[in-house]
Structure 1
Amino acid sequence: MDIDLRSIAIRGVFSAGRAARLGIDGTTLRQLVKAGQCHPLHRGWYTPYRPKNAREHFRLRTIALLNEYGDVAVASHGSAVVLLGLPTEAVDFGTAHLMWTTPDTRFEAFSRVRIHERLACEALPMQIETVHPAVACLQVGLGDPRSLMVAADAALRAETITPEQLVEAGQLLRGQRGLSRARAVIRWCDARHESAGESVTAFVLKLLGYALEPQFATGLRGPGGGLLRSDFLILGTTVLVEFDGLTKYQARDEEEAQRLLFAEKLREDALRDAGYEVVRLTWADLQNPELVRAKIEAAIARTLGRAS
């Protein structure tokens, strides 16, 4: 079938109704789906592009829903976070969330879609397609506080929200299940957390009771002459914590990978020679807070042993 569906898509999506008006009937559309030339998003909505992952499918599905509802709804919760381009952690991509733009419209739920009653105020107005970013961050935090911290840290870095707006969003959502837990995390959000991995690292360390200084300047210079910084210092100690994400060591070839690893070794040697202990944490470590505690406490014990 020589039909270029990309020509009828708007922002990557099209409706069955639009396809029909252009001569593509339901039978043909089903054949195109079977042939892998288009992909269902929501009842009556499709994309001509193969979504590369669940997040991309969720983003396109949200756009389709916004097209279906027009200006009477905006994206909220995880749908808003994804549409805003913020990072996600523990966000459910199975259920899309919208919010009515008009007051006195009741909550509706159907077919993996939730449409919430309007929540906005002068300090946190709705955007063109989403709730206010601070509201979206708090909303995903209702399900899992890590989601709040990852999204809010990125929004704070981008200066699209302020700490005060996060507090205001907590007031706006009062009475909702999970809010107490989410509001407790607001004070942990920090623009100095430079990645989702650092945000989750900070969340776990704070949960374990450690006080931190993010992006700690050691005052030392590395082998290349640059100032050495660490993701975190455990306050009251000389223990540094580094989050090891895969992207930190992704290289174009084996030679570059070896060079990066060697440079990292020289950096750690310089830190240890200056009396610091370095604890490296991976995504797998962060799934086991007690293992993280054991690693931190072992490093603290080593520093005390050296001091004595």
Structure 2
Amino acid sequence: MNLGFLAREGVFSAAHARELGIGSSSLRRCVQGGTAFPLHRGWYAVRPPRDERDRHRLRTSALLQEYAGDAVACHGSAVVWLGLPTERVDLGTVHLMWVGPDVAFRSYSRVRMHEAIDHPRLPCRQETVHPALAVVQSGLLDVRSMLVAGDEALRRGTVTRDELQAAAAALRGQRGLVQARAAIPWFDARHESPGETMTAYVLRGLGYEVEPQFKPGSRGPGGSPERADFRIKGTRVLVEFDGAVKYAADSPEQAQALLFAEKRREDGFRLLGYEVVRLTWADLHRPGEVRARIEAALARSRLRAG
């Protein structure tokens, strides 16, 4: 049975199905037959979730419809709904915020219902809290979530630094705010990907000051200045983050061309007297190894200068 006619935003409720004469036994057959996919108590999707992030968004949609204007998405759920990147977000738990005042926090079945936060500069959107509030809320559990989402929101122009500061003020007294507030100065719209945000986070934790999007002086084939992801401040050591997105290609030939261009670019940096350290996602989970590689590059740079 095709249940698409029941769905809104890809989901429907068992109660709505019953209103149209589709009972619980029919729904069970649909689940067994792969035309309905359970999301939450009494709610189904009409297609299989593509991944955990997509499943989270479908569950959020179901709950927003269930609460019908009484709540909006917040914390990591709002980050997902707004299409911002996620890092260390618990995709198994949906977070909603009551719109009306004087409604207490509730927690059940991997759903958290938070008390309303009212700030004149941070009005709720139709389905989510203000993006700046969502970003800082996600940092209450892990500042890495906040930094990844916030850098992208700043790059898109979705939020401003003043709004992020206002969000921190609005969350005064909440658990985790001390760490989140301390990390707010670290937002940087020059970070062009979550990987670059996380690279900056790791390097900062290791005690290095960095300059994002540093121009060493080389030029690309079109004559425009080339940029390295980072320079260790005051040195001739560059740090490049290698994410899979850099090498996304539609064919082996295109992949080879991209790799060649990247090598040419790196060779150009070295010809100008720079050491280059390349990091991957796996490296970011081994900060001790990152430090060793950077210190080795700094030693080579000093030796070259001497």
TM range (shorter): over 0.9
Q: Which sits farther off after the overlay, 18-27 or 218-227?
A: 218-227
CA displacement at 1:263 relative to structure 2: 1.5
Letter aligned with residue 164 of structure 1: D
1:94 counterpart residue number = 92
Give the RMSD, CA atoms, in angstroms: 1.1
Q: Which sits farther off after the overlay, 243-252 or 52-61?
A: 243-252
What does the per-residue CA deviation read over 1:75-116, in whole Å, with 9 as the maximum and x for residues that have no partner? 111111100111000000111110111111111111111101
What does the per-residue CA deviation read over 1:57-91, in whole Å, with 9 as the maximum and x for residues that have no partner? 00010010000001111111111110011100000
How many residues are treated as equivalent by the alignment? 306
1:153 counterpart residue number = 151
| Gaps in structure 2 of 5+ consecutive residues | none
CA distance in 2 between counterparts of 1:150 and 1:210 reads 19
CA displacement at 1:183 relative to structure 2: 1.2
Question: Map of 1:9-24 to 2, 5 A cutoff?
Answer: 9-24=7-22
Q: Is 1:129 the equivalent of 2:127? A: yes
What does the per-residue CA deviation read over 1:126-157, in whole Å, with 9 as the maximum and x for residues that have no partner? 11111111111111111111100000001101
1:205 counterpart residue number = 203
TM-score, length basis structure 1 = 0.97
**1:222 and 1:270 in contact (8 A); partners too:** no
Counterpart among 65, 74, 77 of residue 75 in structure 2 = 77
SS at match of 2:303: helix
2:55 counterpart residue number = 57
Q: Is 1:251 the equivalent of 2:249? A: yes
| Gaps in structure 1 of 5+ consecutive residues | none
What does the per-residue CA deviation read over 1:155-194, in whole Å, with 9 as the maximum and x for residues that have no partner? 1011111111111111111222211111111111111111
1:237 counterpart residue number = 235
CA displacement at 1:120 relative to structure 2: 2.2
2:284 counterpart residue number = 286
Letter aligned with residue 205 of structure 2: L
What does the per-residue CA deviation read over 1:244-277, in whole Å, with 9 as the maximum and x for residues that have no partner? 0012112222222222211211111111010111
Question: Map of 1:189-228 to 2, 5 A cutoff?
Answer: 189-223=187-221, 225-228=223-226
CA distance in 2 between counterparts of 1:85 and 1:259 reads 30
CA distance in 1 between counterparts of 2:299 and 2:90 reads 40
TM-score, length basis structure 2 = 0.97
SS at match of 1:170: helix
CA distance in 2 between counterparts of 1:121 and 1:58 reads 27
CA displacement at 1:223 relative to structure 2: 4.6
